[in-house]
Amino acid sequence: TGSHSTGSHSTGSHSIRIVGAREHNLKDVTLDIPKNTLTVFTGVSGSGKSSLVFDTLAVEAQRQLNATFGWYIRNQLPKYERPDADAIDHLSTPVVVDQKPVGGNSRSTVGTMTDVHSMIRALFARHGTPSEGLVSRFSFNDPKGMCPECEGLGQVRRIDPDRVVDRTKSLDEGAILVPWYRVGSPEWQLYATSGRLDPAKPLAQYTPDEWHTLLHGSGGPKVKVSTKNSSLQLNYEGLVDRVTRLNVKRDVSTMSEKNQAAVAAFLVEQLCPACDGARLNPAALATRIDGRSIADWARMEIGDLIGVLARIDDPAAAPLAGAARTALERIAEIGLGYLSLDRATGTLSGGEGQRLKLVRHLGSTLTGMTYFFDEPSTGLHPRDVGRVGSLLRALRDQGNTVLVVEHDPDVIALADHVVDVGPGAGVNGGEIVFRGTYEELRAADTLTGRGLRAAAVARTRFREPRGKLPVENAALHNLKDVSVVFPTGVLTVVTGVAGSGKSSLASGAFMERYPDAVYVDQSPIAASSRSTPATYLGLMDPLRKLFAKANGVAPGLFSANSAGACEDCQGRGAVITEVAYMDPVTTHCETCDGRRFKESVLAHRLRGKSVADVLEMSAREAAGYFEERALREKATALVDVGLGYLSLGQSLSTLSGGERQRIKLAVQLNRSGSVYVLDEPTTGLHMSDVATLVTLLDRLVDRGNTVIVVEHNLDVVKEADWIIDLGPDGGKGGGEIVFTGTPSELLAVHGSLTGEHLRRHLG
Ligand code: ADP
Ligand code: ADP
Ligand code: ZN
Ligand code: ZN
């Protein structure tokens, strides 16, 4: 099927043509990508794959698409700047399926996101008993269907009495913890001087009646309270009810931030007592199909719900039930059958979210689109990678062009056409080093070709544990009361298919039991828009001092938010212009040419370089440039975690999830005696980078740390000292420990999926 031999100068609409692409590190890349094929982009991390596929092709396709709309609609859409390239032709309508968190508010669920919820609502409306006729009655996002108590959220926020009072104290001693109810205040007088309660009695000694009066009492004579200059009469109202009415149910934006934070500290979120989390009102919940309400359906695992739908034999209902079933089968096929429709999308992992987005498009009959995927194998056990591969092919077979950035050899093998970007990362990358078939790539002399040929070698010696970190009776999410011991002083890898409970065990239950452990994940780094690797690693202060000392000036001059900053862009390197009715437009600052500092500051040099020159250096260059040990070590730490290609001054907001995780690791490298938990650290890593990562993990262990990694990458699994394998399947079919032991022992047991795949991997 592959038309991989398209000449590099062919035009016409059979291929997408890029000429002279220069985004980030791309070196005038000129390339044809055959349409209606599955093209996989490979290359080491930082080689320029995303710069080419997402920042050039996808951005240009979205920009061209937006340009086809009228002015009014265009202003509602995100703005795309034209990517730096001489020409990009023959793009088609883009669909970007990335790993950005699905997010969404608490009203967004797996069911609403995939549209299956609306099919099921229609089914209940027309075929439920008693029949209700109206579809919106089953929508928790519609006033006609929602539970009035929680307004369709399934959860309510209530005041936790134990957080608003200190039972060991009396009212006189300040038992009420709400800051504006302090002793002497009018609010405090309502309780302490109303005659209803003894202000000297510790709350712990209250009778149930007194307790009720304090928290929920009402009625009776008004209470006279004195304020600074006058006095007023207040209705008596229990503390919990009063704070709820005045501070919780009120529009919080009208409260000071300090008070909002104080109130938030009194609240607990719990299942709505009226609907028990079902989100719907009693009328909607009374309607049933197959003895179950729509909320029961939403709570079931998708795999089980398919069975319920299959049992519907009413011919009138069959078409709708069949459509819902097909949609659910697609979800189950990509290994997400363990999810339920009522799962809030905000709790999904990046990989789960991306696969759900993928399903949404499979139902589409649109053709001629260009799909963009970012490492769709993320989060998948080798068992399930093949299924994602078939879905990508199915999209292609529907007449679409499918572009995928991927590191997994099993996905690369499915490509009609592979584009390998390299040869290295950052300034050493940005070129197309190979294009052709997978078979040709395996023979190619590139890092990817070599990686694909390299034989995986099994280890035979394993570190001896120094101690034990037991986790007992863990029951979080799907965990079935598991007890397991994490050995210390070794590298432990937690394996299992997606949804088997790896994260629930290693980041949930384990971290709860051992809160001092360091969790290194891929979440964004809470930092300002000015944060860079240099600020994150603490390089800026010593660097400013060095420049100041060498030039006999004040260190403050070398800060991009000080007097030394370029005045036209305030040290941002870019000018942000507000345009009426439009999003602000960001343009390159001409005055400093993006260098952020005044000319006079840039004239100050340290070993021939200006401060802007240093910030433009990659971490690897900087490690060579710094002669000062502390600075060199920090730059080297970035190299050690595989981020040697990052420039010191690059905004942290441009980093991918995997890069963020590795930079977090970089600041930890010199610690010892710690316990680290890492969730899928190979995300975004090329085969050759995985070796670097393993070296790094080994180094952490050798320094006396304990390292626990959730990972499905077999090149990491084989390097473990100890494996904890969860399964046997995902969701309620998982949550058990199916194996613990060394990789050699895993290879010897039969019946473990992970073992089977490891055996194949080791050939
Ligand atoms: P890959 O996708 O192959 O891992 P990228 O395309 O993300 O590589 O990165 C290629 C190079 O461009 C790297 O040196 C990276 O640091 C740099 N880069 C990526 N995004 C940005 C950005 N928004 N601004 C500046 N440099 C960037
Ligand atoms: P793994 O890490 O092996 O992919 P997880 O620990 O993420 O598995 O998930 C195990 C089970 O727990 C799955 O059934 C999943 O749907 C469920 N689960 C995970 N996170 C949440 C959550 N935040 N809320 C509800 N269920 C969850
Ligand atoms: Zn409710
Ligand atoms: Zn400027």
Domain spanning 15-101+348-453, CATH architecture? 3-Layer(aba) Sandwich (3.40)
Q: At what angle do helices 116-127 and 318-331 cross, to 10 degrees?
A: 150
For residue 467, what are its two tokens? 């101690």
For the Cβ of 47 lying below 6 angstroms from any atom of ligand 1, the answer is yes
Residue nearest (by alpha carbon) to ligand 2 atom 12: 477
Of the bound ligands, which one is closest to the alpha carbon of residue 602?
Answer: 4
From 52, 650, 662, the mutation candidate for ligand 1 (largest count of ligand atoms within 8 A of CB) is 650
For the Cβ of 42 lying below 6 angstroms from any atom of ligand 1, the answer is no
**The amino acid at 747:** L
Burial degree of 362 (CB within 10 A; 0-12, 13-18, 19+): middle
For the Cβ of 407 lying below 6 angstroms from any atom of ligand 1, the answer is no
Q: What's the 47 CA to ligand 1 centre distance in angstroms? A: 7
Of the bound ligands, which one is closest to the alpha carbon of residue 274?
Answer: 3
Q: What's the 602 CA to ligand 4 centre distance in angstroms? A: 12
For the Cβ of 48 lying below 6 angstroms from any atom of ligand 1, the answer is yes
Atom of ligand 1 nearest to the CA of 684: 4
For the Cβ of 645 lying below 6 angstroms from any atom of ligand 1, the answer is yes
For CATH 1.20.1580.10, the residue range(s) in the chain are: 110-154+274-345, 533-664
Q: What's the 710 CA to ligand 2 centre distance in angstroms? A: 13
For the Cβ of 97 lying below 6 angstroms from any atom of ligand 1, the answer is no
d(CA 492, CA 717): 9
Q: Are 294 and 177 in contact (CB under 8 A)?
A: no
In this prediction, residue 1 carries a pLDDT of: 34
Bridge partners, residue 403, by sequence: 39, 372
Q: Give the DSSP letter string of 657-694.
A: HHHHHHHHHHTTTT--S-EEEEE-TTTT--HHHHHHHH
Q: What's the 482 CA to ligand 2 centre distance in angstroms? A: 15
Residue nearest (by alpha carbon) to ligand 1 atom 1: 46
Which residue stretches of the chain have pLDDT < 50? 1-12
SS3 431: strand
For residue 132, what are its two tokens? 């209700």
Residue nearest (by alpha carbon) to ligand 2 atom 22: 347
Atom of ligand 1 nearest to the CA of 655: 20
Q: Which CATH number fits domain 533-664: 1.10.10.1100, 1.20.1580.10, 3.40.50.2020, 1.10.3720.10?
A: 1.20.1580.10
Q: Are 403 and 372 in contact (CB under 8 A)?
A: yes
For the Cβ of 727 lying below 6 angstroms from any atom of ligand 1, the answer is no
Residue nearest (by alpha carbon) to ligand 2 atom 15: 499
Residue nearest (by alpha carbon) to ligand 1 atom 26: 24
In angstroms, how far is CA 658 from the centroid of its own chain? 10
Atom of ligand 1 nearest to the CA of 48: 6
For the Cβ of 24 lying below 6 angstroms from any atom of ligand 1, the answer is yes
Q: Are 488 and 466 in contact (CB under 8 A)?
A: yes
How many other C-beta atoms can be found within 10 angstroms of the C-beta atom of residue 297? 25
Atom of ligand 2 nearest to the CA of 500: 3
Q: What's the 363 CA to ligand 2 centre distance in angstroms? A: 25
d(CA 688, CA 497): 24
For CATH 3.40.50.300, the residue range(s) in the chain are: 15-101+348-453, 467-517+674-761
Residue nearest (by alpha carbon) to ligand 2 atom 26: 477
For the Cβ of 131 lying below 6 angstroms from any atom of ligand 1, the answer is no
Superfamily per CATH, domain 156-271? ABC transporter ATPase domain-like (1.10.8.280)
Of the bound ligands, which one is closest to the alpha carbon of residue 505?
Answer: 2
Q: What's the 574 CA to ligand 4 centre distance in angstroms? A: 6
Q: Are 355 and 376 in contact (CB under 8 A)?
A: yes
β-pairing, 722-727 vs 491-495, is parallel
For the Cβ of 654 lying below 6 angstroms from any atom of ligand 1, the answer is yes
d(CA 373, CA 49): 12
Q: What's the 476 CA to ligand 2 centre distance in angstroms? A: 9
Domain spanning 110-154+274-345, CATH architecture? Up-down Bundle (1.20)
Angle at alpha carbon of residue 527, lines to 524 and 532, rounded to 5°: 95
Q: Give the DSSP letter string of 252-280.
A: GGGS-HHHHHHHHTTEEEEE-TTTTT--B
Q: What's the 46 CA to ligand 1 centre distance in angstroms? A: 6
Q: What's the 52 CA to ligand 1 centre distance in angstroms? A: 9
User: Cis ω on the peptide bond leading into residue 161 (within 30° of 0)?
Assistant: no
Fold adopted by 467-517+674-761: Rossmann fold (3.40.50)
Q: Which residues line ligand 2 (CB under 6 A)?
A: 338-339, 343, 347, 477-478, 496, 498-504, 731
From 504, 510, 717, the mutation candidate for ligand 2 (largest count of ligand atoms within 8 A of CB) is 504
| Backbone phi and psi for residue 644, each to the nearest 5 degrees, phi listed first | -60, -20
Of the bound ligands, which one is closest to the alpha carbon of residue 342?
Answer: 2
From 646, 654, 688, the mutation candidate for ligand 1 (largest count of ligand atoms within 8 A of CB) is 654
d(CA 730, CA 500): 4
Q: Which residues contact 601 (CB under 8 A, 6 or more apart)?
A: 557, 558, 564, 610, 611
For the Cβ of 244 lying below 6 angstroms from any atom of ligand 1, the answer is no
Q: Which residues contact 219 (CB under 8 A, 6 or more apart)?
A: 236
Residue nearest (by alpha carbon) to ligand 1 atom 10: 48
d(CA 583, CA 687): 40
Q: What's the 290 CA to ligand 1 centre distance in angstroms? A: 53
Of the bound ligands, which one is closest to the alpha carbon of residue 154?
Answer: 3
Please give the model's pTM, rounded to 2 decimal places: 0.81
Q: Are 31 and 430 in contact (CB under 8 A)?
A: no
**The amino acid at 153:** L
Burial degree of 393 (CB within 10 A; 0-12, 13-18, 19+): middle
Q: Are 381 and 752 in contact (CB under 8 A)?
A: no
| CB environment 725-750: b (16+ within 10 A), e (fewer) | bbbbbbbbbbbbbbbbbbbeebbeee
Residues shown for the chain: 763
Q: Which residues contact 315 (CB under 8 A, 6 or more apart)?
A: none
Q: What's the 660 CA to ligand 1 centre distance in angstroms? A: 13
Atom of ligand 2 nearest to the CA of 726: 3
Atom of ligand 1 nearest to the CA of 654: 23
In angstroms, how far is CA 100 from the centroid of its own chain? 6
How many other C-beta atoms can be found within 10 angstroms of the C-beta atom of residue 524? 12
Q: Give the DSSP letter string of 40-99.
A: EEE-STTSSHHHHIIIIIIHHHHHHHHHTS-HHHHTTSPP-PPPS-SEEE----EEEE--
SS3 1: coil
Q: What is the DSSP letter of 397?
A: H
Residue nearest (by alpha carbon) to ligand 2 atom 23: 347
For CATH 1.10.8.280, the residue range(s) in the chain are: 156-271
Using alpha carbons, select from 686, 688, 664, 690 the residue that is nearest to residue 677.
664
Atom of ligand 1 nearest to the CA of 51: 6
Using alpha carbons, select from 4, 14, 99 the residue that is nearest to residue 54.
99
d(CA 296, CA 304): 11
For residue 357, what are its two tokens? 């987005």
